[in-house]
Amino acid sequence: MTEISLSALPERVDVLVIGAGAAGLMCAAAAGQRGRSVLVLDHANKVGKKILMSGGGRCNFTNLYTSPENFYSDNPHFCKSALARYSQWDFIALVEKHGIAYHEKTLGQLFCDNKSRDIVDLLLAECRTAKAQIRTRCAISAVRAAEAGYRVETTMGTVVCESLVVATGGLSIPTMGATGFGYDIARQFGLDIVPTRAALVPFTQHKRQLDRQSSLPGTSLAVTASCAEGSFHEQMLFTHRGLSGPAILQISSHWREGQAVTFDLAPDRNLADWLPQRRQQSPESHLHSVLAEVWSKKLVQFFLLRAEITSRPLKQVTEAELQQIGDKLQRWKLVPAGSEGYRTAEVTLGGVNTAQVSSRTMECKTQAGLYFVGEVLDVTGWLGGFNFQWAWASAHAAGEVV
Ligand SMILES: Cc1cc2nc3c(=O)[nH]c(=O)nc-3n(C[C@H](O)[C@H](O)[C@H](O)COP(=O)(O)OP(=O)(O)OC[C@H]3O[C@@H](n4cnc5c(N)ncnc54)[C@H](O)[C@@H]3O)c2cc1C
């Protein structure tokens, strides 16, 4: 399907959408299907780049259990209306209408069976039906309020529109076309930006720590990672630069520089109960060989060393010591050196302050005809398909009224 049309830009459209990502394309399709003339502009060389790279190439396009509790925002109520009016079931119905095969991987996360490209093709097909025009490689130089709308100056010419939809996403992965342009437009029209930070991002560790765990990169284990208000029971992965995996990405949204993250390294059992039982059953067994029933030998060696626990036959370990050992391994504290930042983060926390935006329509309360949809807003989902669901829902809410 052709994404780029080389014909000149129309001088005037009803709706101009900046950003041909998940939210921009969804909004364009919804508005076009209502009979509005729609133009989508993107400075990147192709549409939907983040969709293409998402979900390891299979796009985790929504989550069966999406609810407002899966989102962070200064105003946790803001996302409710849009999520209720365009739910995961609506997007699943669209996926099925296009005959896209999908499956649940885990925890309600729905992925394409084949490729993320299927979702981009779905959006382009919907835009085509809606007669929405799309131009890529189009840089925007200025946005000005004009009589009854906006005048947008671009490298391809000037367009006047009634409604302007900003769908420029967050700051993560600048090499994929991410910019802070949406925040600049918001500021230009007097909106505040909730401070932004990289989220759903791996942790880095200091060289000293990396040297100690040099045998572990590639090893993963189930943990419960907790920090501040957040707690996630998922897999953690040791990498050459630090820690990653779903548990780390999730907890990174709660973590702030300098804070410790607490890990329960054996979240599926209570070691303080289990170790005394194992001692009763096999008193001659060494602590390390009993713990090898929980983790790989490499991990046992590493955890015992880091927690300064000496392995010996269980019969030589007192009840109180077993309690302490259990406590150390189920309350393992670690202060990450930092995060990988926007270079690899999946999303951006913060963004356009929702206090100044209608939760029903996504229109700016103080600037008629100006809309913000998707990740550019201060609404950020957990890992697991929630961020796309927010893009679909917020974009649909605006698409129904622009
Ligand atoms: C590696 C990775 C994997 C991910 N996997 C998942 C997943 O599986 N499930 C999930 O729910 N979420 C996932 N996400 C998050 C998800 O991709 C985003 O939350 C979602 O794409 C946001 O949609 P959006 O339309 O608001 O922004 P985007 O999809 O980022 O689209 C913004 C568009 O605006 C354009 N743009 C930016 N600045 C300008 C400008 N100045 N002028 C013109 N155009 C501009 C960009 O080129 C881009 O096309 C992932 C993110 C990454 C980085």
- Cβ-based neighbours of 111, under 8 Å, separated by 6 or more: 55, 58, 59, 60, 61, 102, 103, 104, 105
Tell me, in angstroms, the distance from the centre of ligand 1 to residue 49's CA. 7
| Alpha-helix residue ranges (DSSP H) falling in 58-217 | 80-85, 88-97, 117-129, 181-188, 207-212
Note the pLDDT of residue 244.
Answer: 98
Regarding whether 33 and 108 lie in a shared domain, the answer is: yes
Regarding whether 173 and 308 lie in a shared domain, the answer is: no
CA distance 120 to 258: 39
Regarding whether 136 and 269 lie in a shared domain, the answer is: no
In a domain, 211, yes or no: yes
pLDDT digits (tens, 9 = 90+) for 165-176: 999 999 999 998
Note the pLDDT of residue 222.
Answer: 97
Residue 7: pLDDT band by 50, 70, 90 thresholds? confident
Tell me, in angstroms, the distance from the centre of ligand 1 to residue 400's CA. 21
What is the number of domains present in the chain?
Answer: 2
Regarding whether 322 and 301 lie in a shared domain, the answer is: yes
In a domain, 344, yes or no: no
* Closest protein CA for atom 23 of ligand 1: 22
Q: With beta carbons less than 8 A apart as the criterion, state whether 40 and 133 touch.
A: yes
* Closest protein CA for atom 52 of ligand 1: 346
- 284-305 core/surface letters (b: 16 or more CB in 10 A; e: else): ebebbebbbebbeeebbbbbbe
Tell me, in angstroms, the distance from the centre of ligand 1 to residue 122's CA. 16
- Cβ-based neighbours of 175, under 8 Å, separated by 6 or more: none
CA distance 249 to 7: 43
Tell me, in angstroms, the distance from the centre of ligand 1 to residue 52's CA. 10
Note the pLDDT of residue 1.
Answer: 43
Query: Which amino acid does the sequence have at 25?
Result: L
User: Is pLDDT of 299 > 50?
Assistant: yes
Q: Which of 27-31, 246-250, 321-325 has the lowest mean pLDDT?
A: 321-325
Give me 207's structure tokens.
Answer: 């060289």
In a domain, 368, yes or no: yes
Regarding whether 190 and 67 lie in a shared domain, the answer is: yes
In a domain, 284, yes or no: yes
* Closest protein CA for atom 22 of ligand 1: 375
Tell me, in angstroms, the distance from the centre of ligand 1 to residue 117's CA. 14
* Closest protein CA for atom 29 of ligand 1: 21
Q: What string of DSSP letters covers 191-240?
A: --EEEEEEES-PEE--HHHHHHTTT-TT-EEEEEEEETTEEEEEEEEE-S
* Closest protein CA for atom 47 of ligand 1: 177
Q: With beta carbons less than 8 A apart as the criterion, state whether 399 and 132 touch.
A: no
Regarding whether 377 and 310 lie in a shared domain, the answer is: no
Tell me, in angstroms, the distance from the centre of ligand 1 to residue 334's CA. 31
CATH (domain of 108): 3.50.50.60
- Cβ-based neighbours of 152, under 8 Å, separated by 6 or more: 16, 18, 41, 140, 142, 143, 144, 158, 159, 160, 161, 164
Residue 5: pLDDT band by 50, 70, 90 thresholds? low
Phi, psi of 28 (to 5 degrees): -60, -45
Give Cα separations from 142 to 7, 145, 167, 188, 351 (angstroms). 21, 10, 16, 11, 20
* The last residue of a domain, from among 288, 308, 339: 339
User: Is pLDDT of 365 > 60?
Assistant: yes
Give the single-character DSSP code of 31: H
- Tell which atom from ligand 1 comes closest to the C-alpha of 25: 25
In a domain, 321, yes or no: yes
Tell me, in angstroms, the distance from the centre of ligand 1 to residue 98's CA. 22
Regarding whether 89 and 42 lie in a shared domain, the answer is: yes
- Tell whether the torsion through CA atoms of 294, 300, 305 and 309 is positive or negative: positive
β-pair partners for 339: 203
Q: With beta carbons less than 8 A apart as the criterion, state whether 330 and 322 touch.
A: no
Tell me, in angstroms, the distance from the centre of ligand 1 to residue 50's CA. 5
* Closest protein CA for atom 3 of ligand 1: 54
Give Cα separations from 233 to 24, 222, 230, 245, 254 (angstroms). 33, 7, 10, 11, 14
Regarding whether 228 and 138 lie in a shared domain, the answer is: no
Regarding whether 155 and 73 lie in a shared domain, the answer is: yes
Range of the domain at 300: 202-339
* Closest protein CA for atom 42 of ligand 1: 43
Pocket of ligand 1 (CB under 6 A): 18-24, 41-44, 49-50, 53-55, 59-60, 140, 167-169, 172-173, 177-179, 181, 346-347, 374-376, 385-388, 391
Residue 58: pLDDT band by 50, 70, 90 thresholds? very high
**Mean pLDDT, to the nearest integer, of 197-206?**
98
CA distance 319 to 237: 32
Note the pLDDT of residue 2.
Answer: 41
End-to-end CA distance of the chain: 26
Tell me, in angstroms, the distance from the centre of ligand 1 to residue 47's CA. 10
Note the pLDDT of residue 147.
Answer: 87
Regarding whether 51 and 24 lie in a shared domain, the answer is: yes
187, 346, 392: residue to mutate for ligand 1 pocket, most atoms within 8 A of CB: 346
In a domain, 191, yes or no: yes
* 3-state class (DSSP) for residue 159: strand
Give Cα separations from 229 to 139, 195, 255, 256 (angstroms). 41, 19, 9, 12
* The last residue of a domain, from among 302, 319, 339: 339
168, 372, 394: residue to mutate for ligand 1 pocket, most atoms within 8 A of CB: 168
CATH (domain of 211): 2.40.30.10
Note the pLDDT of residue 6.
Answer: 61
In a domain, 3, yes or no: no
Q: With beta carbons less than 8 A apart as the criterion, state whether 23 and 373 touch.
A: yes
Average pLDDT of every residue of the chain? 96
User: Is pLDDT of 4 > 80?
Assistant: no
Regarding whether 226 and 126 lie in a shared domain, the answer is: no
| Alpha-helix residue ranges (DSSP H) falling in 282-318 | 287-291, 297-306
pLDDT digits (tens, 9 = 90+) for 98-153: 999 999 999 999 999 999 999 999 999 999 999 999 999 999 999 999 988 999 99
Q: What percent of the chain has pLDDT over 90?
A: 97
Regarding whether 174 and 86 lie in a shared domain, the answer is: yes
In a domain, 178, yes or no: yes
**Mean pLDDT, to the nearest integer, of 7-35?**
96
